[in-house]
Amino acid sequence: MNRPLNEYLVTELVEGLEEGAFSAMDVVEACLERIAARDEIVQAWVALDPERARASARHPSGGPLRGIPFGVKDVFRTAELPTGMGAAAHAGSTDRFDAAAVAVLRGSGGLVLGKTATAEYAGTAPAETRHPAAPAHTPGGSSSGSAAAVADRMVPFALGTQTGGSVIRPAAFCGVVGFKPSFGLYPVDGLKMAAQSFDTVGLIARGAEDIALLHSIFMRCGRPERGAPLRIGLLGSHLEASLQPGMAAAIDETAACLAGAGCTVTRLATPDWLASLTEHRAIVNAFERFAALAPEALACHDSFRAETAATWDRGREVTGETYLTARRTIDECRQRAASLFDGVDILLSPAVPGEAPKGLRSTGDPRLQELWTTLHLPTVCLPIGHGPRGLPLSAQFVAPLYDDARLLSAAMWVERTLAATA
């Protein structure tokens, strides 16, 4: 493979390390060199300790990851690096222990390269991170730094979190693979919670096979095998008007490509109850974010950025009765979610409205991703082309609750199929 090591996929790095073709130190140095060359522009990282990373790479621990470096969104607590949460009030804060998700990867031989930028408290106040391919455009958020660092070949994979669309959206905008597992599968201990009904640890990498490998580490099971042709449901929603023309066409082309490769593609009617999720999810999110921000609000409310202060104020206005009504409606929708898969194995829908928007004041529209986060279903996004500005377009694939392995099996097959016909 005549490429710099920082461009290798996780699975390629595992193979090369097993064969002794290069060392963990070689991989770390390649990543650090890329960061030094590019991060002044991209601003994906908020904390790095190159010497500690090198020291860890000299004596990598055993395990399937064999010293492969990764990025950690700066809302996960880490023992060796500060955890700032994108907030001035937490700048320089340190902890004695890693968050559980970080510890799982470290215990499997992973090496924490650094902390990646996040919107304040994983909310709506954007990080300084820029889109690697178009610095005037948002990379998405709130896992902004994780997606940008992976897309710019600074690190092979990174941890993110998703409360609405904070893994899938930045991965989609940056043209990499994002995965949000079924709610509750990955540990959240040591994570700054945003809304406990929705918060999910997620993964960002450059290939579906990489995600499958990492998922097997979290689930302590075998890696999913690449699947065969599937029954795919092409599902619209009440948000179709938000799609850019290029995205709608790309979804149709993707469906046609998969049908030509042997899949059965069925266009599904949009159930009426799906539209209610957007409204009720906003109520639950506001109420729970108010509670999650209570420690900071009591101690340093004046340090909140405007977007965070507005979120806190909205949540304060939501009563417990209103919150519980929304929770009950969402629970009913989750019970109905299984019916979405009658006659199909997975769903296909747009991951985002289109290309990453220009400007850095917003991280983009989260509503297309929020639907599946609210339903607790596993989702994965895959690049499916480029829009008129040359920026990535991505599709979102959704599976029934706890069918994560089948979803990743399908994603690997879809990824290969689309690449072969590109």
* Catalytic (active-site) positions: 73, 142, 166
Assigned domain for 373 exists: no
Assigned domain for 207 exists: yes
Residues 162 and 289 in one domain: no
- For 168-221, the pLDDT digits (tens) are 999 999 999 999 999 999 999 999 999 999 999 999 999 999 999 999 999 999
Confidence of residue 62 (pLDDT cuts 50, 70, 90): confident
Residues 173 and 313 in one domain: no
Instruction: Give the pLDDT confidence score for residue 1 in this predicted structure.
Output: 60
How would you list the strands of the sheet with 392-398, edge to edge? 45-48, 111-116, 69-73, 157-162, 200-205, 177-180, 379-386, 392-398, 346-350, 231-235, 264-268
Helical packing angle, 276-292 and 306-316, nearest 10°: 100
Q: What is the mean pLDDT of residues 417-421?
A: 94
Residues 20 and 109 in one domain: yes
- For 78-111, the pLDDT digits (tens) are 999 999 999 999 999 999 999 999 999 999 999 9
CATH number for 113: 3.90.1300.10
Instruction: Tell the burial category of 100 from Cβ atoms under 10 Å away from its Cβ (0-12, 13-18, 19+).
Output: middle
Calpha distance 376→323 (Å, rounded): 18
Residues 59 and 152 in one domain: yes
Residues 37 and 135 in one domain: yes
Closest CA to 32 of 49, 18, 19: 49
Residues 34 and 181 in one domain: yes
Averaged pLDDT score across all residues of the chain:
97
Residues 279 and 132 in one domain: no
Assigned domain for 387 exists: no
**Domain final residue pick, 188, 204, 219:** 219
Residues 62 and 131 in one domain: yes
Assigned domain for 120 exists: yes
Q: For the chain, how big is the Rg over CA atoms in Å?
A: 20
Calpha distance 85→46 (Å, rounded): 10
Instruction: Give the pLDDT confidence score for residue 228 in this predicted structure.
Output: 81
Calpha distance 56→223 (Å, rounded): 26
**Domain final residue pick, 324, 356, 383:** 324
Q: What is the mean pLDDT of residues 293-312?
A: 95
Q: How many helices (H) and strands (E) does the chain have?
A: 14, 11
User: What torsion do the CA atoms of 396, 397, 403, 409 make, to the nearest 10 degrees?
Assistant: -110
Residues 36 and 171 in one domain: yes
**Domain final residue pick, 219, 237, 260:** 219
DSSP label at 186? S
- For 132-170, the pLDDT digits (tens) are 999 999 999 999 999 999 999 999 999 999 999 999 999
pTM: 0.98
Q: Percent of the chain beyond pLDDT 90?
A: 96
Q: What is the mean pLDDT of residues 254-261?
A: 97
Residues 154 and 49 in one domain: yes
Instruction: Give the pLDDT confidence score for residue 157 in this predicted structure.
Output: 99
Assigned domain for 339 exists: no
Assigned domain for 349 exists: no
Assigned domain for 401 exists: no
What residue numbers bound the domain in which 83 lies?
A: 5-219
Q: What is the mean pLDDT of residues 388-406?
A: 97
Q: How far apart are the first and last CA of the chain?
A: 21
Confidence of residue 394 (pLDDT cuts 50, 70, 90): very high
- For 318-337, the pLDDT digits (tens) are 999 999 999 999 999 999 99
Q: Based on the structure, what is the number of domains in the chain?
A: 2
Let me know: does 266 contact 236? Beta carbons within 8 Å.
no
Residues 154 and 285 in one domain: no
Assigned domain for 415 exists: no
Instruction: Give the pLDDT confidence score for residue 237 in this predicted structure.
Output: 86
Residues 154 and 282 in one domain: no
